[in-house]
Structure 1
Amino acid sequence: MNVSYRDLIDQTYYFPTQEFELGNDGLEFHGIPLMDLVRQYGSPLKFNYLPKISENIQRAKGWFADAIENHNYGGNYFYCYCTKSSHFNFVLTEALKNDIHIETSSAFDIEIVEHLKREGKINDHTHVICNGFKRDAYISNIARLINNGHKGCIPIIDNYEELELLTAAVNKPMQVGIRIASEEEPKFEFYTSRLGIGYKNIVSFYKDQIQDQKGVSLKMLHFFINTGIRDNAYYWNELNKCLKVYVSLKKICPSLDSLNIGGGFPVKNSLAFEYDYAYMVDEIVNQIKLACEEANVPVPNIFTEFGSFTVGESGGAIYKVLYQKQQNDREKWNMIDSSFITTLPDTWAINKRFIMLPVNRWEDRYERVLLGGLTCDSDDYYNSQQDMNAIYLPTFKKDKPLYIGFFHTGAYQENIGGYGGLQHCLIPTPKHLLIQRTEDGRLEVSVFREQQRPEEHLEILGYR
C-alpha cells in the first residue's frame, strides 16, 4: 500500500517538474536544496531566486519574436515591467538586464525611475509608461521627468482632466496614451473599470483635447484586462472591441503607432497548472494583424506590461510547523511559525492559492490538515490547494520537525503586507534571502534583510 507523501504526489501530478525535484535531503527548487537554507538561516524565511526573473522575460520575448516572424508582422514588441508588482531594487536590477521598459502607477515610482537613471540602468529612451489616476505629485514628477529630457516617458491619460494638468506642467513636446475603460467579466461587482475612458468616448476625446493640442501627440492606446490574458470568450471579445477603437483612431491620428495590451500572463499556482503561453501570444498577434489588414491601417507596435509574470515565480517562503492542535474529530491544525495574513496577505485578502509543498519528510505517511498562522485572527489560515479542496502533509511528529514551502510568491506580497513596517499582532517580517547564480552555475545566497526586531516596532509605534 502506497501511503507516503511522495506516493501521493507521484499519483496526483507529473513530478518532478521544471522547478521542483527531490534531492537526497528533501525538496529542491530550481536546484536549491531548501533544507540547506533552513539549517543555515532558520525559519521563517522569505527568498527570491533572481535568475527566474530573467528567464521569464526571455521566454515572453521569445514567444512574441516567434509570433511576429510567423505572421510577418510589421510592428515591434516592447516588454514593460510593472513596478507595482515588486518595487525592490534587486528585482529592477535583474529585470533591466534584459533590455526592457517600465510601467509606473504612482508618484513615488518616478523617484525610482530617476534613481535608476542615475545608476545608468535605464536612459532617456527607455519607455516609462505612466499609468494610474494622476494628481499633484504624480503630475509634477512626470512633468519633471519629461522636462529633464526623458523622451521615452508616455503618460497614459486616465480621465478627462489629466491632459490639461499635464500640459500645464510640461514645457517640452509630449507623447501620450489613452487608457480604455474595459468592461469587466460578468462575475464582477461592477460593469466597467474605474480606470480609463469608455470605448465610445475615446475618438471624440482625441478630437476635442489632443488632435489640435500643440506639443502633444497621441502615441499609444492602452488596453487592460483586470483578470489577465486568458483564452476565453470575454478576453477575445474585449480585445476585438479595443482593436475597433484602434483602427478608428489610426485613420485620423497618424502619430498613433502603439497598442499596449496590459493585463498580464498568469503565474503557476499548482503542480497541475496548464497554460499555452506561445499559443496565446501567436493568436493575439494574429488578431491584431487581421483587424488592421481589414481596416487597411498599419499594424501597431505591441507593448505588454507583465508584473506578476516577471517576478512572481522567483519568490518563496519557508515555515516550520510548530505544533498540531486537534480541535475536533476531523480537523487537525498545523500551526506555523509566522502569519499568512502578514507574509502572504493575498491568501487572506483574495483567497489566492500558491504552490505549497513540504520541504522535508517526503517518505513519511501523510494526513489531511489545516494550516494556522500565529496571529489571534480567525482568518489567519490556509485550508486548500488550487487544484484540490484539501491540504495533505507528512504526519506531524514532535520529534521530527516539518518544514513547508510556499512558492511563486514573489509578486505583491511584500508591498501589500507592509514590508518592514507594522504587522498584524506585531508578527515580525521574516528574514529575506536573495539567491543568484555565478557564471559557472554556483549558488550565491545573501541576506537582504534580517528578521524584523522588536525595537523597530517600538520605534514606529512611538515607544522609542
Structure 2
Amino acid sequence: MKTKYIDLIDQSFYFPQEEFKLNKNNLEFHGIDLMKLISEYGAPLKFTYLPKISDNINRAKEWFRVAMKEHNYKGKYHYCYCTKSSHFQYVLHEALKNDIHIETSSAFDIDIVESLKEQGKIKNDTFVICNGFKRDQYLENIARLINNGHENCIPVIDNYEELNLLGDVITKKYNIGIRIASEEEPKFEFYTSRLGIGYKNIVPFYNNQIKDNPQVNLKMLHFFINTGIRDTAYYWNELVKCLKVYVSLKKICPTLDSLNIGGGFPIKNSLAFEYDYQYMISEIINQIKQVCDEADVPVPNIFTEFGSFTVGESGGAIYEVLYQKQQNDREKWNMINSSFITTMPDTWAINKRFVMLAVNRWNEEYERVLLGGLTCDSDDYYNSEQHMNAIYLPKYKKDKPLYIGFFNTGAYQETIGGFGGLHHCLIPQPKHLLIDKDEEGNITTSVFSEQQTSEQMLSLLGYGNAQQTDNNNKSTTNFASKAYFL
C-alpha cells in the first residue's frame, strides 16, 4: 500500500517538474538544496531566486518573436516590468539586464526611475509608461522626468482632467497614451473598471482635447483586463472592442502607433498548472493583425506590462511546523512558526493559491491537515480554499522537525505585508535571502535582510529611544519619524 508523501505526489501530479526535484528525502527548487538553506539560515525564511526573473522575461520575448514571425507581424514588441509587483532594487537590477522597459503607478516610482538612471540601469531610450490616477506629486515627478529630457516617458491618461494638469507642468512637447475603461466580467460587483476612459468616449476625447493640442502626441492606447489574459469569450470580446477603438483612432490620429495590452499572464499556483502561453500570444497577435488588415491601418507596436509573471515565480517562503493541535475528531492543525496574514497576505485577503510542498521527510507517511499561523486572528490559516485541494503533509512527529515551502510568492507579498514595518500581533518579518548564480553556474546566497527585531518594532511604535531629553536645555526631541528610515 502506497502511504508515503512521495507516493501521494506521484499519484496526483507529474513529478519531478522543471523547478522541483527530489534529492533523496528532501525537496530541491531550481537545484537549490532547501534543507541546506534551513540548516544555515533557519526558518521562517524568505528567498528570491534572481535567475528566474530573467528567465521569464526572455521566455515571453521569445513567445512574441515566434508569434510575430508566424503571422508576418510588422510591429515591434516592448516588454515592460510593472514595478508595483515588487519595487525592490534587486528585482529591478535583475529585470533591467534584459533590455526591458518600466511601467509605473505612483509618484515615488518616478524617484526610483531617476535613481536607476543615475546608476546607468535605465537609459533615455527606455520607455517609462506612467499609469494610475495622477495627482500633484505624481504629475510633478512625471513632468520633471520629461522636462529633464526623458522623451520616452509616456503618461497614460486615466481621466479627463489629467491632460490639462500635465500641460500645466510639462514645458515641452510630449507623448501620451489613453487607458480604456474595460467592462468587467458579469460576476463582478461593478460593470466597468474605475481606471481609464470608456470605449465610446475615447474618440470624442481625442477630438475635443488632443487633436488640436500642439504640445501633445497621442502614441498609445492602453488595454487591460482585470482577470488577466485568459482564453475566455469575455477576454476575446473585450480585445475586439479595444481593437475597434484603436483602428477608429488610428484613422484620424497618425501619431498613434502603439497598443499596450497590459499584464495578466498567470503564474504557476500548483503542480497541476497548465497554460499555453505561446498559443495565447499567437492568437492575440493574429487577432490584432486581422482587425488592422480589415480596416486597412498599420498594425501597432505591442507593449506588455508583466508584473507577477516577471517576479512571482522567483519567490519562496519556508516555515517549520511547531506543533500539531487535534481540535476535534477530523481537524488537525499544524501550527507554523510565522503568520500567513503577515508574510503571505494574499492567502488571507483574496484566497490566493501558491504551490505548497513539504521540504523534507518525503519518504514518510502522510496525513490530512490544516495550516495555522501564529497570530491570534481566526483568519490566519491556509486550507483547501486557498490550496488547489485538501492539504496533505508528512505526519507530524514531535522529535522529527517538518518544514514546508510555499513557492512562486515573489509578487506583492512584501509590499502588501509592509516590509520592515509593523505586522499583525507584532509577528516579525522573516529573514530574506537573495539566491543567484555566478558565471560558472554555481548557486550563491546572500542575506538581503535579517529577521526583524523587537528594537525596530518598538522604534516604529514610539517606544525605546523614541524620545531623547537634552538635559542641558531641558528640551525634548521626538525621533519617532526616523523609524521609517531604519
Q: TM-score, normalised by structure 1?
A: 0.99
State the match for 1:441 in structure 2. 441
Offset of residue 287 of structure 1: 0.3
Distance in 2 (alpha carbons) for counterparts of 1:62 and 1:387: 31
Structure 2: how far apart are the matches of 1:422 and 1:385?
27
Partner of 1:275: 275
**Equivalent residue of 1:195, what SS?**
coil
- CA distance change for structure 1 residues 396 and 387 in 2, over 3 Å: closer, same or farther? closer
Query: What is residue 87 of structure 1 aligned with on the other side?
Result: 87
Q: Are positions 1:373 and 2:396 aligned together?
A: no
Kindly provide the amino acid, as one letter, of the partner of residue 252 in structure 1: I
Q: State yes or no: 1:180 paired with 2:215.
A: no
Q: Find the counterpart in structure 2 of residue 31 from structure 1.
A: 31
Q: Which moved more, 1:155-164 or 1:23-32?
A: 23-32
Amino acid at match of 1:410: G
Give CA-to-partner distance per residue, 1:115-170, whole Å, 9 cap, x none.
00000001111000000000000000000000000011000000000000000100
- Equivalent position of 1:334 in the other structure: 334
Shift of 1:264: 1.9
Displacement of 1:59: 0.2
Aligned residues: 464
The residue type equivalent to 2:10 in the other structure is: D
Contact preservation (8 Å) 2:353, 2:388: no
Structure 1 match to 2:116: 116
The match for 1:454 is: 454
SS of residue in 2 equivalent to 1:262: coil
Deviation at 1:382, TM superposition (A): 0.2
Structure 1 contact 64–77 (Cα < 8 Å) conserved = yes
**Compared with structure 1, are the counterparts of its residues 25 and 448 closer, same or farther at alpha carbon in structure 2 (3 Å cutoff)?**
farther
Instruction: Output one character per residue of 1:7-48: Cα deviation in whole Å (capped at 9) or x when no partner.
Output: 000000000001100013500000001000000000000000
Whole-Å Cα distance in 1 between the matches of residues 263 and 193 of structure 2? 13
- Cα distance between partner residues in 2 of 1:388 and 1:148: 50
Which amino acid is 2:161 matched to? E
Residues 355 and 385, structure 1, Cα contact 8 Å, conserved in 2: no
Question: CA-to-partner distance for each residue in 1:405-455, whole Å, 9 max, x for gaps?
Answer: 000000000010001000000000000000000111100000000000000
- Looking at structure 2, the residues matched to 314 and 263 of structure 1 have their Cα atoms a distance apart, in angstroms, of 17
Q: Which amino acid aligns with 2:57?
A: I
2:412 aligned with 1:412: yes
Contact 1:25 1:35 survives alignment (8 Å): no
Name the SS for the 2:134 alignment partner. Answer: coil
Q: Which residue of 1 aligns with 2:425?
A: 425
Query: Is contact 1:270-1:386 (8 Å) kept?
Result: no
* Structure 1 residue 389, shift from structure 2 partner: 3.0
Say what the alpha-carbon RMSD is for the aligned residues: 0.8
1:115 maps to a residue whose letter is S
Equivalence for 1:218: 218
1:127 aligns with: 127
CA contact (8 A) 1:272 1:387 kept: no
TM-score of the two chains, using structure 2 as the length reference: 0.95
Cα deviation, 1:230-277, whole Å, max 9, x if unaligned, reads 000010000000000000000000000000000320000010000000
Runs of 4+ off more than 2 Å: 385-389
Q: Distance in 2 between matches of 1:14 and 1:260?
A: 36
Contact 1:354 1:385 in 2 (8 A): no
- Write the distance in 2 (CA, Å) between the matches of 1:298 and 1:159: 27
Counterpart of 1:398 in structure 2 is 398
Task: Label 1:386 to 1:424 Cα distance change in 2 as closer, same or farther (>3 A).
Answer: closer
Per-residue Cα deviation, 1:174-202 (whole angstroms, up to 9, x for no partner): 00000000001111111100000000000
After superposition, residues 111-260 of structure 1 pair within 5 angstroms as: 111-260=111-260
2:347 alignment partner AA:
T
* C-alpha deviation, 1:221, in angstroms: 0.1
The 5 Å alignment of 1:44-123 reads 44-123=44-123
- DSSP-derived class of the 2:441 partner: coil
Task: Give distance in 1, aligned partners of 2:445 and 2:196.
Answer: 43
- Aligned-residue sequence identity (percent) comes to 76
Residues 324 and 335 of structure 1 are in contact (CA less than 8 Å); yes or no, is this contact kept in structure 2? Answer: yes
Work out the CA distance in 2 between the residues paired with 1:142 and 1:125: 16
Q: Is the 8 A contact 2:172 2:215 kept in 1?
A: yes
Q: Does 1:352 align with 2:332?
A: no
Per the alignment, residue 318 of structure 2 pairs with 318
8 Å Cα contact 2:77-2:302 kept in structure 1 = yes
